[in-house]
Structure 1
Amino acid sequence: MSPDSPRGSTRRGALAFPLVALVGVILVSLNLRTAVTSLSPLLGVIDAEIGLGAAGMGLLGMVPTAMFAVWGVLTPMVLRRMGLELLTVLAMVAAAAGQIIRALAHDPVVMGVGSLIALAGMGIGNVVAPPLVKKYFPRHVAAVSMAYITGLQLGTVVPALVAVPVEEAAGWRVSIGWWAVLAVVAAIPWIVEILNPGVPTAPPRHVDGATDAPARRIRPWRSPVGVALALFFGTNSLCTYAFFTWLPAVAESIGMTRAEGGLALAVYSAIGLVAALVVPWAAGRFEDPYAVVVVSVVSYLAGFAGLLWAPGAAWVWICLLGVGPSTFPLCLTLINLRTRTQAGSAALSGFSQGVGYTAASLGPLVFGMLFDGPGLGAGLAFLTVVLVIMTVVSRTACRPNMLEDTLR
């Protein structure tokens, strides 16, 4: 090898820079929910100081899914004009800036602006993470997806667990603002990649015989695979976010205490960590991972039946409900397993998450109206219909067909 050979072409570079990319992907995943779950436990304290009011707290609760949906649609458009790594850096900078603005807020307007900026960054991060995996680790999609999804789950659970202790020790501004440091750190590996590009584990322009042309515009809605995965993501997100919002109230309605209701939500969320480790592995090992959908749906339905007809065993049913969102890591993993190219992964990621988080914003609203009106049975009947739809559309999403091969 000549002295003029680029560093990225050396064996050392081929090893080192994918490791930098792996660290970068994991750090990004840890940042994708911190602005959501670090704020929720402190809304009462923040309201008392800056006067959010019921309407303000309600709007802050709607911002995450709304921004995730909007940026699910917009991010692929931006990607056609900007490199994947640069957009990732900008997403993390936005996440950090927004959280700092929120920590300095002295009125609801500034708090709202900070939330919009932070969650725009995280919405972009949601979309760019799968194509980053596709670009740098095309031969290790399942393994790296497992690491990335586990990071996302940890970034969901840990901020909620430490929010109150940090607030009690240092105040709510520190409790919600210090997560900006993690976002800044997550940008560093991608700045390194921009300044000194590394070598993916396989050439990104030739995956399964396909040529990855970033300039090519892929329209996922013109493929049955794209439509099926978007609907799969949407129905999964609707059910998941309905329970994220209403499970404590549901638990209280069947005789549990307020403290037990909060613990029920923690258990529901924590089971997702196990799914994050198992499901991407299963999706990569089996050509058709539809069995994951069947297990998830059956667990949900058994949990519904138990809540209605045997509430005395509530913890059993809550654990079964926690198995239900195992379809979430499956959806994220399928974004890469059902595309041949980085461009396809980016387009499918944006489309499926745009549809998914739009549906997610409707789930808590519709379930809440039914729960407060006719009662728990009506709310669970609505979610049962959603699960039936998910069972049908996920059949197409799980079959081993590629987005690029099915475009019409």
Structure 2
Amino acid sequence: MNPRSSRAGTRSSALAFPVIALVGVVLVSLNLRTAVTSLSPLLGVIDAEIGLGTGGMSLLGMVPTAMFALWGVLTPIVLRRTGLEMLTVLAMAAAAAGQILRALAGDPWVMGAGSLIALAGMGIGNVVAPPLVKKYFPRHVAAVSMAYITGLQLGTVVPALVAVPVEEAAGWRVSIGWWAVLAVVAAVPWVMEIVRGGSATAVPAAAGASPAGSPPAGAAPAQRPRPWRSPVGIALALFFGTNSLCTYAFFTWLPAVAVSIGMTRAEGGLALAVYSGIGLVAALVVPWVAGRFEDPYAVVVVSVLCYLAGFAGLLWAPGVAPWVWICLLGVGPSTFPLCLTLINLRTRTEAGSAALSGFSQGVGYTAACLGPIVFGLLLSGPGLGAGLAFLTVVLAVMVVVARTACRPRMLEDTLR
């Protein structure tokens, strides 16, 4: 082989594998919410057959955020002993196995066990996705984050939309079980990377690791990044937490809020779809803004103002333009794709990205568990005004902590 053909072959190989990684990242992102939103519309049907009961349905509603929080903490520990690619394969295998087990469930205990397994896989996937972007696309973080977050939003909206039609055509077991196929498909690109050899290395502990994941020659090992010892890490974790608390409060209670202001139950369900669907637009726009501007704090300001305008409309003019207020609320969670993008934009290394991803999502989804509970208690007690006042306080905290998270400082440079 002459030198020219050798160079051409090298270029072809270099192009081929990032494409596989890009496909792999997007496929993983499509799987990160399927076990959540494919189940919710069918709980009544499933309860009628296997007897979940009110308590069982409530527990199933709490499992997603609880497992996301737990595996936000545990995944970085596991990553120190295995590779990103191998752990991604295991995560997708767990997602598939759990969803198949749920589809076969004949009693609430099996349904619960399947949910725990499936959501453990998805919780791991939440954490490993940002460092995969950091490792394979260090110069295109914003663009690939846009693709990954768009996939996550699609994986949230589409299962909810098709759950009932598929159930009516083929039964609830098929409706919740067929998403296992997508999880198996998502594992294939990462199996290919492992088979290539040399990619499936454990996430390095060295703070000075190269973008590809291996420490530079002659570099002394450094301590594993501890995000809780950095103002950037603490701020991003609190930013993620306040965002998640507000978002999951409305994921759970927006239909009830809509009914309380005079909308029908059908309109309440549509309101939740609109609230979720606006996130698709944010997923396309916000990562681009975060990558283009050193300090994307303006996204936070716009998001909070939209939330507050929506709150004001719901309280003081609910019958005037309810769909305007719902759309304004839908713009509020634009801070979610910003949080995910900042995980990579505020870290220098793959190790830093993995550590910050686990820490911020562990804190974030723990807070998300509190949102539906506290807001629901206030909504059913003092009323909507009290619930929105609580969320306004949360947004005030977000405005403060996001100021630090958005400043162009790196986690590794601020560790104490």
Output the TM-score relative to the length of structure 1: 0.95
Q: Which of 349, 358, 361 is the equivalent residue of 2:366? A: 358
* 8 A contact 2:99–2:177 mirrored in 1: yes
Q: Distance in 1 between matches of 2:138 and 2:404?
A: 22
Look up the SS of the partner of 2:411 in the other structure: coil
For structure 2, which runs of at least 5 residues remain unmatched after alignment? 200-209
1:302 is the counterpart of 2:309? yes
Distance change >3 Å, CA 8–CA 373, structure 1 → 2 = farther
Distance change >3 Å, CA 140–CA 109, structure 1 → 2 = same
**Alignment-mate amino acid for residue 318 of structure 1:** I
**Alignment-mate amino acid for residue 405 of structure 1:** D
- Superposed CA deviations along residues 310-340 of structure 1, whole A, max 9, x for unmatched, are 0111100000000000000000000000000
Q: Distance in 1 between matches of 2:409 and 2:64?
A: 32
**Alignment-mate amino acid for residue 240 of structure 1:** T
Superposition deviation, residue 236 in structure 1: 0.2
Match of 2:249? 242
Distance change >3 Å, CA 68–CA 213, structure 1 → 2 = farther
Distance change >3 Å, CA 198–CA 147, structure 1 → 2 = farther
* 8 A contact 1:288–1:398 mirrored in 2: yes
**Alignment-mate amino acid for residue 77 of structure 1:** I
- Superposed CA deviations along residues 24-80 of structure 1, whole A, max 9, x for unmatched, are 000000000000000000000000000000000000000000000000000000000
* 8 A contact 1:204–1:212 mirrored in 2: no
Match of 2:206? none
The residue correspondences of 1:24-35 to structure 2 (distance < 5 A) are 24-35=24-35
Look up the SS of the partner of 1:233 in the other structure: helix
The residue correspondences of 1:200-279 to structure 2 (distance < 5 A) are 204-205=211-212, 216-279=223-286
**Alignment-mate amino acid for residue 368 of structure 1:** G
Q: Which of 281, 288, 292 is the equivalent residue of 1:285? A: 292
Distance change >3 Å, CA 246–CA 151, structure 1 → 2 = same
Match of 1:14? 14
State the aligned residue count: 404
Match of 1:316? 324
- Superposed CA deviations along residues 190-248 of structure 1, whole A, max 9, x for unmatched, are 0000011589xxx62589x9999998411000000000000000000000000000000
Distance change >3 Å, CA 124–CA 213, structure 1 → 2 = farther
Match of 1:116? 116
Look up the SS of the partner of 2:413 in the other structure: coil
Match of 2:203? none
Distance change >3 Å, CA 373–CA 329, structure 1 → 2 = same
* 8 A contact 1:80–1:214 mirrored in 2: no
Look up the SS of the partner of 1:400 in the other structure: coil
Q: Which of 347, 350, 354 is the equivalent residue of 1:339? A: 347
* 8 A contact 2:136–2:212 mirrored in 1: no
Distance change >3 Å, CA 212–CA 335, structure 1 → 2 = farther
**Alignment-mate amino acid for residue 238 of structure 1:** L
* 8 A contact 1:299–1:323 mirrored in 2: yes
Q: Distance in 2 between matches of 1:215 and 1:49?
A: 55
Distance change >3 Å, CA 78–CA 156, structure 1 → 2 = same
Q: Distance in 1 between matches of 2:54 and 2:8?
A: 54
For structure 1, which runs of at least 5 residues remain unmatched after alignment? none
* 8 A contact 2:135–2:213 mirrored in 1: no
Distance change >3 Å, CA 125–CA 176, structure 1 → 2 = same
Look up the SS of the partner of 1:10 in the other structure: helix
The residue correspondences of 1:153-172 to structure 2 (distance < 5 A) are 153-172=153-172
Poorly superposed stretches of 4+, deviation over 4 Å:
6-9, 209-216
- Superposed CA deviations along residues 156-200 of structure 1, whole A, max 9, x for unmatched, are 00000000000000000000000000000000000000011589x
- Pairwise CA RMSD of aligned residues? 2.3
Q: Distance in 1 between matches of 2:212 and 2:131?
A: 13
* 8 A contact 2:141–2:345 mirrored in 1: yes
Output the TM-score relative to the length of structure 2: 0.94
* 8 A contact 1:146–1:280 mirrored in 2: yes
Look up the SS of the partner of 1:311 in the other structure: coil
* 8 A contact 1:167–1:175 mirrored in 2: yes
Q: Distance in 2 between matches of 1:7 and 1:230?
A: 45
Distance change >3 Å, CA 27–CA 8, structure 1 → 2 = farther
Q: Distance in 1 between matches of 2:258 and 2:11?
A: 56
The residue correspondences of 1:76-87 to structure 2 (distance < 5 A) are 76-87=76-87
Superposition deviation, residue 307 in structure 1: 0.2
* 8 A contact 1:8–1:198 mirrored in 2: no
* 8 A contact 1:211–1:341 mirrored in 2: no
Q: Distance in 2 between matches of 1:212 and 1:176?
A: 49
Q: Distance in 1 between matches of 2:409 and 2:68?
A: 27
Match of 2:189? 189
Distance change >3 Å, CA 36–CA 8, structure 1 → 2 = farther
Q: Distance in 1 between matches of 2:341 and 2:391?
A: 24
- Superposed CA deviations along residues 353-379 of structure 1, whole A, max 9, x for unmatched, are 000000000000000000000000000
